Copies of this chain bind each other. A is one copy, B any other.
């Protein structure tokens, strides 16, 4: 079962307390695709500029990611520049150049339209809706968004929320969207907006999952070094949907195990700059850390 992602493919320029990197491969679709690629075939839809190097596209194809949905447009690639604080959970956006993303009209190649596992990465809700319109057979659609769209395009975002299954947000976004400070109340309010499931990402503190019938909480895998948190959330979503596509198991247990796989993938992502760790980690290492995650959290035996 393959996974389709629509989102940004970008240049990231990143400064953390541990170093910096210029114009490395970034973007929500990139992190998601690489995270999902360990578990299932992945198709990526996005837009890049004339300046986007072949080397970066090769990173996708080396992981067997189908890049037939990446359009090349006249202009420069979307570029984000961010700086992390000493407290690595905090960051500032220093520069944001939409460039070719501004005029992006997502077009799904014909074979993509039957996708069954879909991730609508953090882009304009109007674009997310346009993707939904082009999809025929929907099995599961997950969506990410951010404070900007919640503030500026809430009406459009709400219409998309009515049509998706899973919302993936961090806790401040859940608060902003729902108007509640409390995660349980926030999730309950969001479930009324349409999604059957809300995943609240809490960075180094783990993930909360809410549905009408169930609540699941898991810590994050404790790491000795966090070099660069960029892409943790999107690669979490990639591991999550990738594992769902691999297992086909949407039971409560299957969904929970997919959340843990997502957490494991994210724990690798932050161990190096940009997508680097995602390109050199193996599925065997992911499975090994999943087993350690079981040991980390088990108190029954």
Interface residues of A (CB under 8 A from B): 86, 181-185, 202, 205-206, 208, 215-226, 253, 256-257, 259-260, 294, 296-301
Contacts and interface: CB of A to CB of B under 8 A. Distances in A.
A217 B301 contact: no
A223 B187 CA distance: 12
A31 to B, nearest CB: 23
Contacts of A300: 253, 294, 298, 300
A12 to B, nearest CB: 24
A291 B181 CA distance: 27
B222 A215 contact: yes
Given A184-B222, A208-B222, A216 B296 contact: yes
A297 B219 CA distance: 9
A174 B185 CA distance: 31
**Copies per assembly:** 2
Nearest to A224: B184
A143 B18 CA distance: 35
A39 B206 CA distance: 30
A222 B219 CA distance: 13
Nearest to A259: B299
A222 B218 contact: no
Given A260-B299, A300-B253, A300-B294, A182 B216 contact: no
B219 A184 contact: no
A253 B183 contact: no
Nearest to A217: B219
Nearest to A88: B181
Interface centre among A216, A220, A294, A299 (most CB of B within 10 A): A299
Contacts of A181: 86
Nearest to A184: B224
A218 B181 CA distance: 22
A139 to B, nearest CB: 21
Contacts of A219: 205-206, 208, 217-219
Contacts of A208: 219, 222
28 contacts: A182-B224, A182-B225, A184-B222, A184-B223, A185-B224, A202-B205, A205-B206, A206-B206, A208-B222, A215-B222, A215-B296, A216-B296, A216-B297, A217-B220, A217-B296, A217-B297, A218-B297, A218-B299, A253-B300, A253-B301, A256-B298, A257-B299, A259-B299, A260-B299, A294-B300, A297-B299, A298-B300, A300-B300
